[in-house]
Amino acid sequence: MWKYTVEVNGMMCGMCEAHINDAVRKACPVKKVHSSRAKCQTVVLSEAELDPETIAAAIRSTGYEVGAIQKEPYQKRGFFGL
């Protein structure tokens, strides 16, 4: 599984977060997506590797600015972090 952390500027409310999440879900086969206006970021989890530019384009299409995108392997931790 892969984790993408995207810097996003311009989110002001929960509807902004939902708008970005919906756009990313429509553009990419994601397992989970979560946006945070407080952290100015969107985190995307996917079983397959994604094209970071596809994620960025989906977010830009909603009118928000996209900054750096970090990609890293993601492994879900079990109970008690094991």
Q: Which tokens sit at 79?
A: 């109970």
> Is residue 81 one of the residues assigned to a domain?
no
Contact 30, 4 (CB under 8 A): no
Region 9-23: mean pLDDT is 96
Would residue 53 count as lying in a domain?
yes
Confidence of residue 60 (pLDDT cuts 50, 70, 90): very high
Task: Judge whether residue 23 has pLDDT over 70.
Answer: yes
CATH number at residue 53: 3.30.70.100
Name the residue range of residue 32's domain: 2-75
Q: Total structural domains in the chain?
A: 1
Under 8 Å CB-to-CB from 22, ≥6 apart: which residues?
A: none
Tell me the percentage of the chain whose pLDDT exceeds 90.
90
pLDDT score for 17:
97
Taking residues 20-31, report their average pLDDT.
97
On whether residue 80 sits in a domain, the answer given is no
In a domain, 82, yes or no: no
Question: Would you say the pTM of this structure is higher than 0.75?
Answer: yes
- pLDDT for 22: 98
